[in-house]
C-alpha cells in the first residue's frame, strides 16, 4: 500500500467499510485501490449450505478482506489490526477495554455483548461485540488487537449495501 492512501482508508465506518473501501465492492474494484493481496485463501464453510469464501490478506496494512459466493463474491467482511485505523476519530488498536467501552458509548454504541473464546492453541481471547453495528473487537491482555466488521442488514436476509 502506498502511504498516500493511508488517510483514505483509516476510518472504520460501521456497516459501510474502511474509508474508501466499501462493502459490496467486487474483487477487481478492491484491487484498483489496494493492488494484489499478499495472500489468498479459499474456504468452504459448513453452514446450512456450503458456501465458498475467499479471504485476501494485505500484510503491510494488517488487513484481511473476505468475499462470499452468496453475494457474487462482493466484499462482505473486513478485519484489521493496523494501529493507524480509527473509529469516530480515535485510534482503536491498542486501546484498553475501559477506554474502548467509554468511546463506544460516546459514539452511541450501547448494545455490547462480551464473549471469552479459546482457539485451537489454547489462546484466550475476549471479544466485545455490537450486533447492531456488526462490529467485533478482539482483545488480548485487556487491549484491542483486531476489529472485524460486516455490512448491516435491512432484514434477516437482506444486506444493506452502502451507496
pLDDT, tens digit (0-9, with 9 covering 90-100), for 36-61: 999 999 875 555 455 688 999 999 99
Q: From CA 69, how far away is CA 106, in angstroms rounded?
A: 36
Supply the pLDDT for residue 122: 72
pLDDT of residue 2 exceeding 50, the answer is: no
pLDDT of residue 123: 75
Distance (Å, whole) CA 8 – CA 21:
9
Q: With contact defined as beta carbons under 8 Å apart, do 1 and 20 qualify? A: no
What are the structural domains of the chain? 3-149 (2.60.460)
What pLDDT score was predicted for residue 4? 43
Q: Which of 89, 53, 66 is nearest to 151 (CA)?
A: 66
Distance separating alpha carbons of residues 133 and 14, to the nearest angstrom: 6
pLDDT at 9: 83
Mean pLDDT (whole number) for 27-38 = 95
Beta bridge partners of 64: 57, 79
**CB proximity list for 19: less than 8 A, separation 6 or greater:** 7, 8, 9, 10, 11, 13
- Per-residue confidence band for 1, with pLDDT thresholds at 50, 70 and 90: very low
Query: Residue 86 pLDDT more than 80?
Result: yes
Strands 63-68 and 74-80: antiparallel
How many whole angstroms from its chain centre is CA 73? 16
Neighbours of 43 (CB within 10 A): 11
Amino acid at each position: 500500500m502506498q502511504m498516500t492512501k493511508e488517510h483514505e482508508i483509516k476510518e472504520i465506518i460501521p456497516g459501510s467499510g474502511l474509508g474508501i473501501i466499501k462493502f459490496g465492492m467486487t474483487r477487481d474494484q478492491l484491487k484498483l485501490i489496494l493492488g494484489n493481496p499478499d495472500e489468498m485463501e479459499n474456504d468452504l464453510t459448513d453452514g446450512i449450505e456450503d458456501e465458498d469464501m475467499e479471504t485476501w490478506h494485505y500484510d503491510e496494512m494488517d488487513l484481511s478482506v473476505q468475499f462470499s459466493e452468496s453475494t457474487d463474491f462482493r466484499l462482505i467482511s473486513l478485519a484489521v489490526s493496523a494501529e493507524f485505523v480509527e473509529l469516530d476519530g480515535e485510534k482503536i488498536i491498542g486501546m484498553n477495554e475501559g477506554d474502548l467501552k467509554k468511546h463506544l458509548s460516546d459514539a452511541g454504541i450501547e448494545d455490547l455483548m462480551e464473549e471469552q473464546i479459546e482457539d485451537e492453541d489454547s489462546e484466550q481471547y475476549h471479544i466485545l461485540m455490537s450486533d447492531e453495528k456488526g462490529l467485533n473487537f478482539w482483545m488480548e491482555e485487556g487491549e484491542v488487537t483486531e476489529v472485524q466488521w460486516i455490512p448491516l442488514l435491512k432484514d434477516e436476509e437482506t444486506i444493506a449495501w452502502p451507496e
